[in-house]
Amino acid sequence: GAVFGPYGLGYVRSNEVVEFFGFLGSAFLLMMAGFEVKFESFEMFGRRVVLMAFINASIPFIVGLGIMRFFGYDWFSSLLVGVIFISSSLAIVSSSLTSIKMLKTDIGKEIMSAVVIEDVFSLLLLAVLLQTISPITEIPLPQYFFVLLASVFLLFKFLPYILKFALRYIRRYKKNVEEDYEREIHVVVVLLIAVLLYFSWIGVHPIVAAFIVGLLLSRVVKSEVLIHKIHTLSYGLFVPVFAFIVGTKLDIGVFTKLESGDVLMVSLILGLIISKLVSGFIAGRLVGFSSLHSWMFGVASTAQLTTTLAVVFIASGFFFFNSTLVTAIILLTIVTSVFSPIVLSLLARKQ
């Protein structure tokens, strides 16, 4: 995307079609982020996990907000970067903990639970910010927040029953196994569209709504074949297209000359990594983790991908982020996505 985009060779330029496919890809990326949340990780949910999430979210949020204000950005852009600093990549954290055989341990479950809370909170905060600056609905903000939470709660309560009933009805009239799974994927896609339309109607940005849909689906879709088909549809088509389109927003030219933008990039990358490391260590020690496990929590939480790229896509679409800031944040996702798994693996060897 960076090579063929407008800042590279110039073969691909933004238009309505490109932006539409980018929107579809971002929706599927957020849906898969929610879909990959394992609710078994909430077995360890409690005050310890809430404290971990609060410390590991609030300190980076303040740091991200402060960096942006220091470089002269407006409050809204600064708050969006603060939201990015709150989040972590669920997929990267989960796969990293799995690779070091920690995901099913008590420590691993607490780390995953804290990261899930941070990611969900960052997306809800993103929904509120977008409603504040560019309202999709005329519902006043306090009532909007209540309607959003009530909708999520009711869907969590009743959507599993609806999906189970629909899948059971389909299986009753199946002709063969392959056709059965094809119909099931159709039901899931129709359900996704229906819930997205509902959230769009109440004023939630569709990308945020897609994450909520993924969370809902993760509770009821248990078939390995169906899960594989959803993965293939998302990661085989829509997500790569989204990554390509985000890449077209990467301004390679900023690397060829030393400007204030380079200082911003370094500040954002170091600010996020240091604030996540320090806050993770403090949170871990406060809940009784060893020093090593506290550092592991901090390192795991540095990974940025899903929410970060979604914010970049939304903010650049509304022209809240200039090309320098977009490039800085995309670079941030690349660095942290490499940094977190490698350092976590090195720390695991010391156990």
How sure is the predictor about 216, in pLDDT bands with cuts at 50, 70 and 90?
A: confident
**Is residue 306 within 8 Å of residue 90, measured between CB atoms?**
yes
How sure is the predictor about 275, in pLDDT bands with cuts at 50, 70 and 90?
A: very high
Residue 155 sits at the vertex; the CA angle it makes with 170 and 133, to the nearest 5 degrees, is 130
> What are the CA-CA distances from residue 9 to residues 246, 324, 329 (Å)?
15, 18, 22
Please tell me the distance from the alpha carbon of residue 155 to that of residue 121, in angstroms, as a whole number: 18
Query: What's residue 266's pLDDT?
Result: 87
Domain ranges of the chain: 16-348
Query: What's residue 310's pLDDT?
Result: 77
Please give the single-letter amino acid code of residue 78.
Answer: S
| Among the ranges given (206-210, 218-222, 328-332), the one the predictor scored with the smallest mean pLDDT | 218-222
- 118 contacts: CB under 8 Å, gap ≥ 6: 53, 56, 57, 86, 87, 88, 301
Higher-confidence residue of 91 and 221: namely: 91
CA 240 to chain centre: 16
- 93 contacts: CB under 8 Å, gap ≥ 6: 111, 112, 115, 300, 301, 303, 340
Whether the per-residue pLDDT at 148 is higher than 80: the answer is no
Query: What's residue 348's pLDDT?
Result: 86
How many C-beta neighbours within 10 Å does residue 111 have? Answer: 32
Higher-confidence residue of 74 and 256: namely: 74
The class level of CATH for 16-348 reads mainly alpha
Share of the chain above pLDDT 70, in %: 81
| Among the ranges given (136-140, 146-150, 293-297), the one the predictor scored with the smallest mean pLDDT | 136-140
**pLDDT digits over 17-52, tens only?**
777 777 777 777 777 777 776 665 555 557 888 899
Mean pLDDT of the chain: 79
Residue 187 sits at the vertex; the CA angle it makes with 181 and 188, to the nearest 5 degrees, is 90
Task: Give the residue from 264, 269, 246 showing the smallest Cα distance to 254.
Answer: 264
Task: Give the residue from 86, 70, 81 showing the smallest Cα distance to 121.
Answer: 86
Query: What's residue 318's pLDDT?
Result: 67
Query: What's residue 277's pLDDT?
Result: 94
**pLDDT digits over 70-89, tens only?**
988 888 889 989 988 998 87
Query: What's residue 258's pLDDT?
Result: 52
Query: What's residue 40's pLDDT?
Result: 59
**Is residue 77 within 8 Å of residue 320, measured between CB atoms?**
yes
Q: Tokens 């109440």 identify what position?
A: 202
How sure is the predictor about 223, in pLDDT bands with cuts at 50, 70 and 90?
A: low
Task: Give the residue from 301, 332, 277 showing the smallest Cα distance to 53.
Answer: 301
Q: What is the mean pLDDT of residues 215-229?
A: 72
Please tell me the distance from the alpha carbon of residue 116 to that of residue 41, in angstroms, as a whole number: 9
Higher-confidence residue of 72 and 132: namely: 72
Whether the per-residue pLDDT at 347 is higher than 80: the answer is yes
Q: What is the mean pLDDT of residues 223-234?
A: 75
**Is residue 71 within 8 Å of residue 264, measured between CB atoms?**
yes
Q: Tokens 């890809």 identify what position?
A: 25
- 183 contacts: CB under 8 Å, gap ≥ 6: 170, 174
Query: What's residue 283's pLDDT?
Result: 92
